[in-house]
Chains A and B, each alone.
Chain A
Amino acid sequence: MRNITLSQAVNEALAEEMRRDETVFILGEDVAEAGTPFKVLSGLVEEFGTDRVIDTPISEPGFMGIAVGAAMTGTRPVVDLMFGDFIFLIMDQLCNQAAKTHYMSGGKLNVPLVVRTNLGATRRSAAQHSQSLHALVAHIPGLKVALPSSAYEAKGLMKTAIRDNNPVVIFEDKLMYNDKAPVPEEEYLIPFGVANIKREGSDITLIATSSMVQVCEAAADILAAEGISAEVIDPRTIVPLDEEALLKSARKTSRVIVVDEGHQSYGITGEIASRINEKAFYHLDAPVLRMGAMDVPVPFTPALEDLTVPTADAVAANARKLVSGEMIHAA
């Protein structure tokens, strides 16, 4: 199978869906000739023209609102939000409008749109261009949230998102745009709500999202060398969440660490850990651990920024403690 970058995978997904369905269009800042600052959309305006790859002013609430109205009336906009941090700017249109329209209309109006944006620190971009804010939108009923962890997922989830009749927010890891992974030539879609067991194991489960999947795979390698067998599971979408797959793994290994790049407090890790506690408690041999980003604004200097996100070594260290029983005594 060929290897392509995550960036190319997203580009292919958009191009294929735009060829398949004329109602699909892209709008956002510098999406046309510039192809976005990350060059993810390069080449699309040449094929589809500026009517379907629409450059907007720097007006995030405005173009988000326009996308909501367009989606309600028969098109399928893909909103390009240059940085995940800008989600605060579109919150009213995304959370008060797009997310609630179907419900408030008694099921009569639909909002089939996609917001594609990104997450991820350690790019030395400081506090307003480095956040992982997916928990904010996952909290709001009416929004689906996808977190691709490789080029393969990025393409399959994007195609599913565009065909979904609900608003979907996709967060790509901006540090992964140039990472290659095997991606089939032939068309495929990845259904929402189906977790992927990246690596089977028996001693401990590492539930990891997005950027943290590769971190946990690296941790699993470290642990394997020490004779600890770690299972790595990627939920791929957090709304809907494949709770059954996560519980099944927890029951099998009896130890779980949840790793996600959003801030640890009030975040995804706490939500998933809580569900495992509620539904697999009697199968557990240790408390479920959360590992998220530190609860600090992301610092600029590499000397500090690297301390704020979970690393393979840190995950492996916590896994060792759980497996050895140290955490039980600590509690």
Chain B
Amino acid sequence: MSPAKKKTNTEDYLRMYRQMVRIRSFEDNANQLYLSAKMPGLTHMYSGEEAVAVGICEALTDNDRITSTHRGHGHCVAKGAEFKEMFCELLGKEEGYCRGKGGSMHIADQSHGNLGANAIVGGSMGIATGAALTSKYLGRDDVAVCFFGDGATAQGLMYEAMNMAALWKLPVIYACENNGYSEYTKTEEIAAGSIIARAQAFGIEAHQVDGQDVLAVNALAQRLVDRARKGEGPFFIELMTYRYHGHHVGDINREYYRSKEEERDWKENRDPIIRFRSWLVEEGLASEAEIEAINAEVKKDAAEAVEYALNAKYPDPSEVDMHVFTDVKHALA
């Protein structure tokens, strides 16, 4: 990459950095809300996987659609959501993106093209593919990205959807976040053979990329998104990544399925934020002081949003049977 290109892209790089920090910060606060019993239910942390969501979503516009997963806060932030509405949703408040009806596992800022987080593993394979069908059907050049984990590769729906996407040349990118674990089980115990070979069997061009390197993810995503817009899709990406927390926030004692040494190695040697930060400083795109200023600003934003959400009001009880149907005020009995 030429120095000139780097300079012109400084704003993009700093935005990417900020978005990764925002995800980490959101998750750290969510974890604290859980630990202090201020959050109803459970949540699944995206910490450690930030470069995946940011690298891909930075290659998309608001007209491009994504589908997300139960581990979806990262996709939500990366696709343009605000902290305030996200924390409100997490706490079940009326001002949440889903008016508190979705919660952590369904959180989505729909106005930026997020079609929702899906709590059925692999449940959105068809939905993302259908969004790509709409794009082709209406003659648009919008692209759909389907985020899912390695665990979802065990669902039959994935193969049905990929088959049709390949037959119909749909502008969809299947983004498999391989974090090494399908809930509490090592991926190698649930997936026979190669993951990208699954897509290749349908004639879908498939790539494997270091999911802890935001620049590598973003460069690949840019290329594939551009090609998908031109009708060269579908594509499949396997992003090698790692989740720092357990399957969910309550999965604390996890030595029976993975070692603390392994976790430490990923955190200390492959952290996507630390790596990208070093690169920004080494390349002279940001000073340590500027980086620290971004970190501090994000931290403050998050703290303010948490405070706001804690004090925000819950939906009125009259809302319980609203939004069951559209164009019908209350549920049909």
A residues neighboring B (CB under 8 Å):
23, 25, 51, 56-57, 59, 61-75, 77, 92-93, 96-97, 101-110, 141-142, 144, 164-166, 193, 239-241, 243
Chain B: interface secondary structure?
mixed
Bound Cα distance A84, B250 (Å): 41
With A51-B137, A97-B123, A241-B332 given, name 12 new contacts (CB 8 A).
A59-B164, A62-B157, A65-B157, A68-B130, A69-B134, A97-B118, A97-B127, A102-B324, A105-B102, A142-B324, A164-B327, A193-B332
**Contact: B130 with A71, CB < 8 Å?**
yes
Interchain Cβ contacts under 8 Å between A and B, 17 examples: A59-B164, A62-B163, A64-B126, A66-B133, A67-B126, A69-B127, A69-B132, A70-B134, A72-B130, A75-B137, A75-B138, A104-B116, A109-B110, A144-B325, A166-B325, A166-B328, A243-B333
Say yes or no: is B99 at the interface (Cβ < 8 Å to chain A): yes
Which residues of chain B in 164-216 are interfacial with respect to chain A, using CB atoms and an 8 Å cutoff? 164, 167
* Cross-chain contact A105 with B108 (CB below 8 angstroms): yes
Which among A74, A105, A165 has the greatest number of chain B C-beta atoms within 10 A?
A105
Q: Does B326 reach chain A (CB closer than 8 Å)?
A: yes
Contacting residues, chain B, for A64 (C-beta < 8 A): 126
- Residues on B with beta carbons closer than 8 Å to the beta carbon of A108: 97-98, 110-111
- Taking each of B123, B130, B324, which has the highest tally of chain A beta carbons within 10 Å of its own beta carbon? B130
Given A74-B138, A104-B102, residue A165 in contact with residue B326 (CB < 8 A): yes
A133 to B101, CA, bound (A): 29
Bound form: Cα–Cα A75–B133 in Å: 9
Q: Please give the distance in Å from B327's CB to the nearest CB on chain A.
A: 5
Chain B residues within an 8 Å CB radius of A70: 130-131, 133-134, 137
Q: What residues of A have a CB within 8 angstroms of the CB of B125 in the complex? A: 62, 65
Q: Report yes or no: A141 in contact with B324, Cβ–Cβ below 8 A.
A: yes
CB-CB < 8 A to A57: which residues of B?
160, 163-164, 167
Contact between chains at B96 and A106 (CB < 8 Å): yes
- Check if B273 is an interface residue, CB within 8 A of chain A: no
A69 to B131, CA, bound (A): 5
Q: Tell me whether B138 and A62 are in contact (CB under 8 A).
A: no
Q: Give the A-binding residues of B (Cβ under 8 A).
A: 65, 67, 96-102, 106, 108, 110-111, 115-116, 118, 120, 123-135, 137-138, 144, 156-157, 160-161, 163-164, 167, 322-328, 331-333
Decide yes or no: A101 and B116 within 8 Å by CB, A64-B126, A68-B130, A107-B323 being known contacts. yes
Q: Which residues of A contact B129 (CB under 8 A)?
A: 62, 65-66, 69
A67, A71, A103, A110: the one within 8 Å of B101 (CB): A103
Contact yes or no, A74 B134, CB < 8 A = yes
Which of A63, A75, A77, A102 touches B325 (beta carbons < 8 Å)? A102
Given the complex of chains A and B, what is the CA–CA distance between A23 and B322 in angstroms?
A: 27
Q: Which residues of A contact B331 (CB under 8 A)?
A: 141
Q: Determine how close the nearest CB of chain A comes to the CB of B239; give it in whole angstroms.
A: 22
Nearest chain B CB to A6 CB, angstrom units? 26
Say whether B164 contacts A142, CB under 8 Å. no
Q: Is the CB of A69 within 8 A of B126?
A: yes
Instruction: Report Cα–Cα, A61/B120, bound state, in Å.
Output: 13
Contact indicator B161/A165 (Cβ below 8 Å): no
Most buried by A among B96, B164, B325: B325
Say yes or no: B116 contacts A106, CB within 8 Å. no
Complex contact A61–B156 (CB within 8 A): yes
Q: Which residues of A contact B96 (CB under 8 A)?
A: 106
